[in-house]
Chains A and B, each alone.
Chain A
Amino acid sequence: MQAAIGVPETSGSRRPGLLGWLLMTPMLLWLAAFVIAPTLILLVYSFCQRDDLGQVVYAFTWENYERIFFDPDTGKFGSTYLTVFLRSILYAGLTTVICLVVGYPVAWFIGRAPEGRRNLLLTLVMIPFWTSFLIRTYAWITILSTNGLLNSFLVDYTRLIAEPFEMLYTPGAVVLGLVYSYLPFLILPVYGSVEKLDNSLVEAAFDLGAGPVRAFQKVILPLTQPGIVAGILLVFIPSLGMFAITQLMGGGTEPTIGEVIQNQFLQARDWPFGAALGMTIVLLFAVVFWCTSRRQNALEN
């Protein structure tokens, strides 16, 4: 089974005719102007030095990339930035796993709902996200803070605990915030796969004597894999760059890679270094993506 993102299985492997190229041109132009050109600019910047104001000085240097990978004092491999990067990956990974576990059943439910209901349910999932991100996060802060609603409920109203429980500004709060923000990004793609699941296949599995667990493992899971993979990517990658939640709900005590990059442009005045950090992330993913799609192609052939 193929990943959702990757080289598509072409229906006839046709080479594009004039019409094909014509239709493709807008997208190509768009990519060239607004993706390739800015990325190239940044690539150039990442090899530059900075002046007092933090703007780029066109003088070639490796030092930005060196700083990312090597400790400046000892010269060995491993630096603060790698640590920060790893921690961000950890949080993003945890968020993704939780979103998957929490969100898959929801996507299943919506995908198997009667046809008229499905769009309604989907929209219901999205509505909370049409309120502003900041306001939603502050709402959580109101709930979780020491003088907040949850604590008032526990301490004053139900007297379940004596002292307020410190929930905010902890890693748990950060994960909660992240899961809350990215859940729809998992539900939507998985729903896409579930929705087009051919029911007869599932029925066939049962007719052949498989229990629910087996049916899931052997039939449903593989068939919904494109959606799952898309969902994982759509949660993991953005949550890597996210820093607002770690700051607002985690207190900002543990820097994330997103925050560090932000700092380079908005505090440290070191645009070239910021560009280098950004480029590293982009290149990392481009490479991973390139390799996996190559493997998919190899599997096909």
Chain B
Amino acid sequence: MTAAPSAPSRFRLPSGMALVNALCAGWSGLVFLFLYIPIILLVVYSFNKSEMSVEWGGFTFEWYEKLWNNGPLIEAAKNSLIIAACTTVLAVILGTIGAWLLYRYKFPALRSLSTLVFIPMVIPEVIMGVSLLIFFAVISAPLNEWLATFTELEFQRGFLTVIIAHTTFCFPFVLVAVQARLFGVDPHLEEAAMDLGAPPIKAFWLVMVPYLLPAIISSALMSFTLSMDEYIVTVFVNGPQSQTLPQKVFGLAKKGLDPSLNALSTVFVVATAAAVVLADRVRKLNR
């Protein structure tokens, strides 16, 4: 039995809007073109024989070979993926639960709380990086002393600190997106589920989450993107064992961007496109 009552009425283009919708479709096509022009360029130039210049020097796979052999760059890419994945998971959990709790309950000092959540989005990246750097430095000595009493592990700048930093500025995005979705939601949705005997957490899971899913997915996508591309904060809180892709790329840019970076981008684009198509197929199969 489906937990959610039926969604708003099925889509049926009303007359008069047909033209507007067609125009929007056309406009979107143009915008997508705009978004993809540099990407197409990157892909094409990843096969260009001549380095550093605009002319076409001939078709070649050498940049992909160079990329394959560039151990540190690939490792940096892996690090970035791991960090982005963890960040997205944490951000979604914190943000969704936070938004829902703020919606459901009237917490004291609610406005201050909302403002606080807002701060990581507003703060300039350098400021955030520096303040976290100092914070981690201050707590590392006493923390390590405490840790040494029962474990070999040590607190150092690295994966953990980067994930923390990224999550801190990603989860507000999730929170805001989910909150936006919560406005005007039918309050009886949850109550109906609970009246039928479901405990609050189950009601949340089976009723709210599906409803919130579009907001969660879109903000998860945004979190992942933000984390993958984040440079400045990462610079300040990272350590030598977890150098990320943006850090590596920035460094390479100083030497002169060579097309193996284009090759890397192409690999990313192709991999993501493939993953998306795959996910789509899987979903269709599950229906």
Residues of chain A having any CB pair with chain B under 8 Å: 2, 4-16, 19-20, 23-24, 26-27, 30-31, 33-39, 41-42, 102-103, 105-106, 108-110, 112, 114, 116, 118-120, 122-136, 138-140, 142-143, 147-149, 152, 180, 183-185, 188-189, 191-193, 195-200, 202-203, 206, 211-212, 215, 226-227, 230, 233-234, 237-238, 241, 257-258, 261-262, 265-266, 271, 274-275, 278-279, 281-282, 285-286, 289-290, 293-294, 297
Contact = CB atoms under 8 A, between A and B. Distances in A.
Among A122, A135, A189, A206: residue with most chain B CB under 10 A: A135
A133 B177 contact: no
A148 B27 CA distance: 27
Contact of B118 (A5, A110, A129): A5
Given A20-B107, A27-B94, A143-B37, 9 more contacts: A102-B31, A112-B11, A122-B217, A128-B36, A130-B225, A130-B268, A143-B38, A275-B130, A282-B122
A227 B239 CA distance: 38
Given A12-B187, A139-B41, A185-B222, A198 B9 contact: yes
Contacts of A112: 11, 21, 24
B111 A294 contact: yes
A30 to B, nearest CB: 6
A188 B94 CA distance: 19
A109 B23 CA distance: 9
Interface string B231-254: 110000000000001100110010
B24 A23 contact: no
Contacts of B273: 127
Interface stretch (B63-71, B95-103, B150-158): B95-103
Interface in B90-130: 94, 97-99, 101-107, 110-111, 113-128, 130
Contacts of A41: 131, 134-135, 138
Contact of B180 (A31, A206, A230, A285): A230
B118 A286 contact: yes
Given A14-B106, A27-B98, A131 B135 contact: no
A4 B180 contact: yes
Contacts of A199: 8-12, 14
A86 to B, nearest CB: 16
A202 B269 CA distance: 38
Interface in B150-201: 164-165, 167-168, 171, 173, 176-177, 179-184, 187, 190, 200
A17 to B, nearest CB: 8
A181 B215 CA distance: 21
Contacts of B177: 188-189, 192, 230
A183 B14 contact: no
Question: For chain B, which range describes its interface: under 10, 10 to 19, 20 to 34, or 35 or more residues?
Answer: 35 or more
Contact of A8 (B36, B54, B182): B182
Contact of B120 (A35, A143, A262): A35
Given A126-B221, A128-B38, A278-B127, A109 B28 contact: yes
Nearest to B270: A127
B183 A4 contact: yes
B261 interface: yes
Contacts of B42: 131, 135-136, 139
B17 interface: yes
A11 B192 CA distance: 13
A105 B24 contact: yes
Contacts of A39: 119, 123, 131
A27 B97 CA distance: 9
Closest 7 CB pairs of A and B: A278-B127, A38-B131, A139-B38, A4-B180, A16-B105, A11-B187, A131-B265
Nearest to B245: A132
B125 A180 contact: no
A261 B124 contact: yes
Contacts of B121: 233-234, 237-238
Contacts of A226: 180, 183
Contacts of A131: 39, 42, 265, 268-269
A142 B221 contact: no
A124 B225 CA distance: 13
B276 interface: yes
B218 interface: yes
A82 B196 CA distance: 59
28 contacts: A4-B176, A6-B114, A7-B114, A11-B103, A12-B104, A23-B97, A24-B98, A27-B97, A34-B165, A35-B120, A38-B128, A38-B132, A42-B131, A105-B23, A110-B28, A124-B32, A127-B269, A130-B224, A130-B225, A134-B246, A195-B214, A199-B9, A203-B12, A212-B16, A241-B123, A265-B126, A289-B114, A297-B111
Contacts of A140: 38
